[in-house]
Chains A and B, each alone.
Chain A
């Protein structure tokens, strides 16, 4: 059985394809134009990005705020396509949880889950259910910018 998934490696634009052989899923990286196989994928990183754009107009007398938050984790060893959706949902939950913990409980409601990236290599050290959280934020009108990075569990 062979299935091509419409997954794209976010760092190169190469295709990530998967097929099942002898009951196990195998993942490969392939050039989309030449169809040349580049290499086998043993570790896949999934990274979700959530942003908050609390503009000056929205904030009025409060502090305008811009936040980029990513939650990433690594899947390894014969993971299946169906694992991906479950993990993505879990990463979004963690992103909302971390926004509330780092800012305030109202911030997740003004946040936007903007997208998911797949990387055909280990981009972070954390293997699922451990996750890697990165946050950068700044006040739109001010000079202050800050960043933080830590590990948490799903």
Chain B
């Protein structure tokens, strides 16, 4: 009889910024989640949870929780986020950060809770 070994699993949250309008995305939401599950499964990971919000500027923010056997390196996180459909410009900066300042990667791997609307006061700098 084959005994299946239980490997301890850890959870990692990946942050995906999707640069298309919410109204278009919401029609594809469940297909998008299903395809993310397929991508993760191909790479040997399992999707544990997903949360999708309409961002303040009318686009899409997604938090994808993944089961992993060992914590992901910053480079693996940057790669996975890119492969899961993260905005390319954000991915480019994340790869740069992963390469140049890896220990600060998590501090700057950001999906904002709130975008700051530029006011005249802030635009010109008020220091």
- A interface residue numbers (CB < 8 A to B): 7-14, 31-33, 48-49, 68, 70, 88, 92-93, 96-97, 99-100, 105, 108-109, 111-118, 134, 136, 138, 145, 147
Contacts and interface: CB of A to CB of B under 8 A. Distances in A.
A147 B125 CA distance: 22
Contacts of A93: 126-127
B63 A114 contact: no
Contacts, number: 94
Contact of A49 (B62, B65, B112): B112
B27 interface: no
Given A12-B63, A117-B110, A147 B124 contact: no
A70 B107 contact: yes
Contacts of B113: 7-10, 115-118
B63 A138 contact: no
Given A96-B127, A116-B113, A117-B112, A134 B118 contact: no
Given A96-B126, A109-B124, A109-B125, A136 B118 contact: no
A115 B108 contact: no
Interface residues of B, number: 29
Given A88-B116, A145-B101, 15 more contacts: A12-B13, A13-B111, A32-B53, A49-B108, A68-B97, A97-B127, A114-B112, A116-B113, A116-B114, A117-B111, A117-B113, A134-B107, A136-B97, A136-B104, A136-B108
B interface SS class: mixed
19 contacts: A7-B113, A10-B112, A13-B62, A31-B51, A68-B108, A70-B108, A99-B127, A108-B127, A112-B118, A113-B122, A114-B116, A115-B114, A116-B113, A116-B114, A117-B110, A117-B113, A134-B104, A145-B101, A147-B101
